[in-house]
């Protein structure tokens, strides 16, 4: 069976409901992993989403900001939420499909503007968050490394030179600093995750999933970053069939600054 999963930072589910419907009509995914929901449970559009064809919903949200959700046509089992760095800030939800495929949807903190963890506590939180997730996976690596595990979301880190429009210009800008890249590399190595985007778009191709709202000429100058990722453990690697970045979604009416990342794999 072919399964289509889309990871997308919607930047407010209530503002983006029309675009979510547009995406569903265009791509008809089996599973949607959404980040930055910005709606507490009472305000989450459960009925509208079920009407789109997604009766199974795993939600972790808080009022006003953050929030993650997995929307699925397939039954979701063993739904769990996780808190890192001692904060209940709704950034990590997971669920199992088909009895043995575990999907983790994560929204890593952005980290503010100053790449100094002493001067900028938001940046310190970001680094500690990634360390916490990596450490938890490392501690459980023996029992997890042979599992079919998928981790996706807005990681807010562009780790490779061609994940940003200019490595030189971006090397001291949060999302592409060396200290962030080191943290993300540790997380990836914890279970030897495979970055599925680069199975389809190998280096040195430049691939982006985010373009700033501050840049009105984003299409012509293309100063993007690849902040949105999908990784799988090795038992899922051979199941990957296609990966696409839906760049045209950035030009939709009232768009998110992130675009959907689409994975097709066999289950």
Summarised one tens digit per residue, pLDDT across range 41-99 is 999 999 999 999 999 999 999 999 999 999 999 999 999 999 999 999 999 999 999 99
Q: How confident is the model at residue 10 (pLDDT cuts 50, 70, 90)?
A: very high
d(CA 76, CA 58): 8
The per-residue pLDDT for 17 is 98
Radius of gyration of the chain from its Cα atoms, rounded to whole angstroms? 17
The CA-based angle 41-45-50, given to 5 degrees, is: 115
How many percent of the chain have pLDDT more than 90?
98
Domains of the chain and CATH, by start: 2-266 (3.60.10.10)
d(CA 241, CA 259): 20
d(CA 2, CA 51): 23
What is the value of pTM for the model shown? 0.98
Using an 8 Å Cβ cutoff, are 233 and 250 in contact?
Answer: no
Strands 148-154 and 194-195: unpaired
């Amino acid at each position: 069976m072919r399964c289509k999963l889309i990871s997308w930072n919607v930047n407010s589910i209530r503002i983006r409901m029309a675009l979510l419907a547009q995406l569903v009509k265009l791509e008809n995914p089996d599973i949607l992993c959404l980040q930055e929901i910005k709606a507490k449970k009472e305000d989450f559009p459960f009925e509208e989403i079920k009407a789109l064809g997604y009766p199974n919903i795993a939600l972790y949200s808080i009022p006003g900001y953050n929030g993650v959700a997995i929307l699925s046509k397939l039954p979701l089992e063993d739904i769990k939420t996780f808190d890192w760095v001692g904060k209940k800030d709704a950034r990590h939800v997971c669920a199992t499909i088909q009895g043995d495929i575990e999907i983790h949807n994560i929204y890593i903190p952005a980290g503010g503007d100053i790449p100094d963890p002493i001067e900028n506590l938001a940046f310190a939180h970001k680094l500690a968050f990634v360390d916490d997730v990596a450490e938890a996976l490392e501690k459980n690596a023996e029992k997890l490394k042979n599992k079919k595990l998928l981790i996706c979301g807005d990681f807010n880190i562009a780790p490779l030179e061609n994940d940003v429009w200019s490595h030189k210009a971006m090397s001291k800008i949060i999302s592409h600093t060396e200290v962030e890249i080191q943290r993300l590399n540790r997380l990836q190595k914890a279970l030897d995750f495979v970055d599925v985007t680069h199975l389809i778009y190998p280096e040195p191709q430049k691939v982006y999933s985010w373009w700033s709202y501050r840049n009105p000429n984003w299409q012509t100058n293309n100063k993007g970053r690849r902040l949105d990722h999908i990784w799988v453990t090795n038992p899922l690697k051979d199941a990957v069939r296609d990966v696409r970045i839906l760049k045209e979604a950035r030009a939709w009416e009232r768009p998110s600054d992130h675009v959907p990342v689409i994975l097709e794999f066999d289950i």
